[in-house]
Structure 1
Amino acid sequence: MESLPLYKPIDALLEKLLKYRNLPETSSVVAKYFIIELGLAFLITTFFFIVAWALSAEIMMRYILTLSLVFLTWPCFFFVKKLEHVILFSKLYALTVIAFYVLKMGGILSSGGIIFLGVQTVLHTLIFKKFRWMFYVFGTFMVFLSMLFYFNPILPTDNLLSPKENLLFTFLNLAGITTYLLVCAMYAFKLFTGLEKKEAERQKELNDAKTRLYSNITHEFRTPLTVILGLADSMQANGYSKDSKIDTIIRNGKNLLQLVDQMLDLSRLESGNLTVNKIHGNIIPFLRYIFQLQEYYAQEKNLKMTFHAESQSYELDFDPEKTTTIVSNLLGNAIKFTPSGGEISMSVKALNGYISIIIKDNGIGIPEHHQDKIFERFYQTDDNNTRKAGGAGIGLALTKELITLLNGSIQLKSYPGIETTFTVNLPITAHLKNRTIPTIIKAPAEQQQLPDFHEKQKEKKHLLLVEDNQDVVEYLISCYQSMFKIDVANNGKKGLELAHKKIPDIIISDIMMPEMDGFELCKRLKEDYRTSHIPVILLTAKADIPSRIEGLEKGAEAYVVKPFNQQELLVRMQKLLELRTKLYQRYSTGSINGAEADLWFQKEDQFFDKLTDLIKENMQDEFFGVSTLCREMAMSKSQLYRKFKALTNKSVARYIKTLRMQKARQLLQTTNMNITEIAYEVGMKSLSTFSQLFKDEFGESPTGFIGHNQQKSPVS
């Protein structure tokens, strides 16, 4: 339709004219179509009238004038509410006029082809998309057509067109109707294509909004769960481990967390936002690892768990995250519905291009009349056993949809009270041989002793918390206040201001916050050379992979999902702070080896190079010091001090003196300048001060250094 030059301006004009009507999208499309149809019909009938007038064909002129009364309906499109009724009336009126004049001109064959307009009128009712109304127009046309054939022998012949006129008008009607149909059909196609596109965009917006809603709900659930599970873990670690109530809190908290994650995954599946991230590798060790994780829960019920694989190596492409969810859900259900002392087995085999994962149990089973519905969302079998076991009817629905996403299938066979078998079939492909399976890193043991952070820190490091939930803030403070000096900001904007002002040693930030989210905060911190060196940990309820990737791409050093383990977070902070030794080693000497270029150091190198160049350029100025340097670097004294201290573990003033003395030593070694000249060259007017500083830096006076250096020189 873009090939029609007038399409865009006409469509834009009609959009503007109809905008104030606030019509539904479909009604607006129908209105625009029939306005264009009437406009085109007006041009064609005007041409026909001119031809009829030139040939003095009075009967054809009367026909055209009578038919033209339908154009009076044009204003109705801008004022009448029920447009479809106006359109239906105009179609029936046109058919009545056509039938009358065909009769008056002696029948179909002698009426100049105006019957073609009747056919066109019927075809154009397709735009209604209402069968009942199309039937009215088509039925009326068939009634008139039957009348024409019935009355044809007795029709009058006094108003007949001459043979030449009849042939000419038949040709013109046929050509006009063909052009009319072509243009209108193209316009209708464009209108409905645009309507479908808008509907697709609207559906995408709705799906995205739904995903955001679920994501926000997940965040709102995960945040209080962080506090609940964190405090329960602390109580358990402080001597309440024998209290079954604490175990109940932790167990149900984790169940709720799993339910929230499943709801989010279902939402992302429905909206098409859940992507497949496959790797290539041996799936057997991976499945065995998932199986072993579930064994812990089976031991609590005294269940016998067995794992068997026909081969120890099945190389294929698979999605680790979704495979974990699928297998964990099926094993979790088996454990939940198998009574104490029962048996659960998991076997793996390859068959007909598929890897089959078969999970069996001898639990309560699933009645036959429920088996067809068990994979439906929120469906639960209604009996005492399932009610006792709990569940929301989400796990199996999510499992099936994930398997479908991976182009696989799942089958169920169950004999209640005897055996239940779930068989998952996933295709064996090898398109990603270069993307290997990541090493599985086990989480720190929960009962392991916390590292003694105090032994490694002579003074408390400065921690900045950026979190809008006060409960989480209080919990974090209670966990780490003995190890860190802590400042708090309740949104990203205040967090950025506080980071610039205080230059903390490490930052922990939430993602979903008012005014500025954690992603933007991390990005700005890493772009600013004043704060680019500060390690950032994103501590958030957004557990999906895209959010994790985005956080790391913004420069975060770690991404921890709520609810978190207190010990794990502490270890992460400790390891990030230990990386400071790399900074000390790199910058403490005052020289950077360009061959060791590393993206991780790039921002710090730029800062350090700029600072060092400024000192070297002003070396001869005895008044050049920290104040001048701060002004040139556009930083406050405290900002520069903390930033430089973090990079070198030295003060800025000490670094300026070190560079002066290094320059002096270089001049003593490479030039014939005397000590006084060299002292002036490095901005030292007092020889005694220069000598003392040189001795403090290198362990000997300038005079002693010259003598020592001359003894090493070869005798010529």
Structure 2
Amino acid sequence: MKLLVRLFLSHALVVVLTVAALLVLAEVLAPTLIQHHVQEMERLIGPVGRSLRDDLSRGMRTTLTSALLIASGIAMCVAFLAAYVAARRVVRAVQSLSEGSLAIAEGDYRRRLPEDGQDELTALARNFNRMARSLADVEASRVELITNVAHELRTPLTALQGYAEALQDGVMPPAHASAAVLRETRAMERLTDDLALVSRVEAGTVDLRSCTVPVPDLLLGALDRFGPLASERHLALHVRPAPHGLAVHADPERVAQVLANLIGNALKYTPPGGTVTVTAAPVPGGVAFRVQDTGPGVMPEDQRRVFERFYRTDRSRSRPAGGGGSGVGLTIARGLARAMRGDVTVTSFPPDGSTFTLTLPADADATPPAIT
């Protein structure tokens, strides 16, 4: 039996039972009420004969029963019509939801349900549409991820094919070809490692070993690591000393990895003669590491997307001088920071450079310096 029929019959049964109960109750109570009314009439107009009293009682009961039957018939017709309309509306909503879910299952993530009204059915349609939009976003991200991975792998694979053909044709010395092949395979290995780390970060399965990490040690390590690279690119790298006693509670290797990503990006996109400044200072509840550069900056419409996988603000500069990254560095940086109960944000006012801020929780056992 179809849902429409079942709903209509359920409403009809309620109507029939209600009318039947009304008729039975009226027939049970009517004699007493009529007798009381006849007695009131006798009190007002005087005694009447038994035959007249019985005739009045029969007439009033017949009139009452007839009126109830006619009114019940009309009421049942109206109730049946209302039940059909209500049942049909529910069935239409269910059918629309069924058709929409089937379309989603077949891959049509553009299907939406009408949201006319303020009742629970409208709320259900609204939630369905929200789910459809989320699935559409996930599908778009999946397609974009596959496209970007294919794009990132195409460059080293094309290079490997060229080196193999050159080696086969004898136009490249074996030693030079093997070095080039090793370089490209290492680039592919870095990409696969970064993708694996992104997956673990997004799944929340990154292994963290948090402890007390002195902030000055982190800054000195960053200076030692990136000082030579900054000099090679004719950039000024300023790492300002951190306040004494400043420490964070985090995984030291992961913090160093996040800082390396932020500083490396700043050096990569800052033109020669520019400056990259790294600072650390206490903030309410934690420590803020700021990496400020004098590069071209990030446009406002790009700032909310720079942490997406493979997103680049300028596709033409997808592989800047000095080696290109995998395109997931900032995604990893923010994911690791949030796994350590922190975050990474960006502020930028092009063309006056950008500032990436890593915020981490302060270590509870360290003596906190004054917040300036």
The TM-score with structure 2 as length reference comes to 0.52
Q: Distance in 1 between matches of 2:176 and 2:232?
A: 13
Residue 374 of structure 1 deviates from its aligned partner by 1.3
Query: Any conservation in 2 of the 1:102–1:108 contact (CA below 8 Å)?
Result: no
Residue 265, structure 1, aligned to residue 197, structure 2: yes
Q: Structure 2 vs 1, CA of residues 108 and 397 (structure 1 numbering), >3 Å: closer, same or farther?
A: farther
Q: What residue in structure 1 maps to residue 44 of structure 2? A: none
Query: Any conservation in 2 of the 1:364–1:418 contact (CA below 8 Å)?
Result: yes
Gaps spanning 5+ residues in structure 2: where?
A: 28-64, 73-148, 161-174, 368-372
**What is the CA deviation profile of residues 137-175 of structure 1, one whole-angstrom value per residue up to 9, with x for unaligned ones?**
xxxxxxxxxxxxxxx994339x9xxxxxxxxxxxxxxxx
Residue 248 of structure 1 deviates from its aligned partner by 6.4
Q: What residue in structure 1 maps to residue 340 of structure 2? A: 406
Q: Distance in 2 between matches of 1:410 and 1:420?
A: 13
SS at match of 2:208: coil
Q: Structure 2 vs 1, CA of residues 282 and 338 (structure 1 numbering), >3 Å: closer, same or farther?
A: same
SS at match of 2:281: strand
Q: What residue in structure 2 maps to residue 155 of structure 1? A: 68
Residue 267 of structure 1 deviates from its aligned partner by 0.7
Residue 278, structure 1, aligned to residue 210, structure 2: yes
Q: Structure 2 vs 1, CA of residues 432 and 312 (structure 1 numbering), >3 Å: closer, same or farther?
A: closer
Residue 418, structure 1, aligned to residue 330, structure 2: no
Q: What residue in structure 1 maps to residue 143 of structure 2? A: none
Residue 340, structure 1, aligned to residue 302, structure 2: no
Residue 399 of structure 1 deviates from its aligned partner by 1.2
Q: Distance in 2 between matches of 1:326 and 1:100?
A: 72
Q: What residue in structure 2 maps to residue 298 of structure 1? A: 230
Q: Structure 2 vs 1, CA of residues 304 and 96 (structure 1 numbering), >3 Å: closer, same or farther?
A: same
SS at match of 2:290: strand
Q: What residue in structure 2 maps to residue 324 of structure 1? A: 256
Q: Distance in 1 between matches of 2:254 and 2:26?
A: 74
Cα root mean square deviation, aligned = 4.1
Residue 414 of structure 1 deviates from its aligned partner by 2.1
Q: Structure 2 vs 1, CA of residues 383 and 353 (structure 1 numbering), >3 Å: closer, same or farther?
A: same
Residue 393, structure 1, aligned to residue 331, structure 2: no
**What is the CA deviation profile of residues 512-558 of structure 1, one whole-angstrom value per residue up to 9, with x for unaligned ones?**
xxxxxxxxxxxxxxxxxxxxxxxxxxxxxxxxxxxxxxxxxxxxxxx
Q: What is the aligned counterpart of 1:429 among 334, 341, 363? A: 363
Question: Which amino acid counterpart does residue 421 of structure 1 have in structure 2?
Answer: T
Q: Structure 2 vs 1, CA of residues 406 and 304 (structure 1 numbering), >3 Å: closer, same or farther?
A: same
Residue 317 of structure 1 deviates from its aligned partner by 1.5
Q: What is the aligned counterpart of 2:246 among 298, 303, 314? A: 314
Query: Any conservation in 2 of the 1:106–1:156 contact (CA below 8 Å)?
Result: no
**What is the CA deviation profile of residues 488-528 of structure 1, one whole-angstrom value per residue up to 9, with x for unaligned ones?**
xxxxxxxxxxxxxxxxxxxxxxxxxxxxxxxxxxxxxxxxx
Q: Distance in 2 between matches of 1:153 and 1:349?
A: 90
SS at match of 2:359: strand
SS at match of 2:308: coil
Residue 95 of structure 1 deviates from its aligned partner by 1.8
Q: Structure 2 vs 1, CA of residues 97 and 296 (structure 1 numbering), >3 Å: closer, same or farther?
A: same
Residue 107 of structure 1 deviates from its aligned partner by 6.0
Query: Any conservation in 1 of the 2:204–2:339 contact (CA below 8 Å)?
Result: no
Q: 1:531-680 alignment to 2 at 5 Å?
A: none
Q: 1:373-522 alignment to 2 at 5 Å?
A: 373-386=305-318, 388=320, 390-430=324-364
Q: Structure 2 vs 1, CA of residues 153 and 404 (structure 1 numbering), >3 Å: closer, same or farther?
A: farther
Residue 286 of structure 1 deviates from its aligned partner by 3.1
Residue 99 of structure 1 deviates from its aligned partner by 1.2
Query: Any conservation in 2 of the 1:317–1:431 contact (CA below 8 Å)?
Result: no
SS at match of 2:346: strand
Residue 363 of structure 1 deviates from its aligned partner by 2.0
Q: Structure 2 vs 1, CA of residues 342 and 269 (structure 1 numbering), >3 Å: closer, same or farther?
A: same
**What is the CA deviation profile of residues 330-389 of structure 1, one whole-angstrom value per residue up to 9, with x for unaligned ones?**
111112112233322211121223211111122232222211221222322135344545
Q: What residue in structure 2 maps to residue 355 of structure 1? A: 287
Question: Which amino acid counterpart does residue 366 of structure 1 have in structure 2?
Answer: V
Q: Distance in 2 between matches of 1:371 and 1:346?
A: 20
SS at match of 1:379: coil
Q: Distance in 2 between matches of 1:156 and 1:307?
A: 94
Residue 250 of structure 1 deviates from its aligned partner by 6.2
Q: What residue in structure 1 maps to residue 171 of structure 2? A: none
SS at match of 2:292: strand
Q: Distance in 1 between matches of 2:176 and 2:230?
A: 18
How many equivalent pairs are there?
232
Residue 391 of structure 1 deviates from its aligned partner by 4.2
Query: Any conservation in 1 of the 2:241–2:279 contact (CA below 8 Å)?
Result: yes
Q: Distance in 2 between matches of 1:422 and 1:153?
A: 85
Residue 92, structure 1, aligned to residue 8, structure 2: yes
Residue 288 of structure 1 deviates from its aligned partner by 1.8
**What is the CA deviation profile of residues 7-63 of structure 1, one whole-angstrom value per residue up to 9, with x for unaligned ones?**
xxxxxxxxxxxxxxxxxxxxxxxxxxxxxxxxxxxxxxxxxxxxxxxxxxxxxxxxx
Q: Structure 2 vs 1, CA of residues 385 and 416 (structure 1 numbering), >3 Å: closer, same or farther?
A: farther
Question: Which amino acid counterpart does residue 413 of structure 1 have in structure 2?
Answer: T
SS at match of 1:423: strand
SS at match of 2:218: helix
SS at match of 2:206: coil
Residue 247 of structure 1 deviates from its aligned partner by 7.6
Q: Distance in 2 between matches of 1:244 and 1:308?
A: 43
Residue 266 of structure 1 deviates from its aligned partner by 1.5
Query: Any conservation in 1 of the 2:295–2:354 contact (CA below 8 Å)?
Result: yes
Question: Which amino acid counterpart does residue 155 of structure 1 have in structure 2?
Answer: L
SS at match of 2:7: helix
Q: What is the aligned counterpart of 1:106 among 22, 38, 50? A: 22
SS at match of 2:69: coil
Q: Distance in 1 between matches of 2:66 and 2:327?
A: 74
Query: Any conservation in 2 of the 1:406–1:426 contact (CA below 8 Å)?
Result: yes
Q: Distance in 2 between matches of 1:252 and 1:323?
A: 28
Residue 422 of structure 1 deviates from its aligned partner by 0.9
Q: Distance in 2 between matches of 1:270 and 1:336?
A: 26
Q: Structure 2 vs 1, CA of residues 339 and 91 (structure 1 numbering), >3 Å: closer, same or farther?
A: same
Query: Any conservation in 1 of the 2:298–2:353 contact (CA below 8 Å)?
Result: no
Residue 328 of structure 1 deviates from its aligned partner by 1.2
Q: Distance in 2 between matches of 1:341 and 1:108?
A: 99
The TM-score with structure 1 as length reference comes to 0.29
SS at match of 2:358: strand
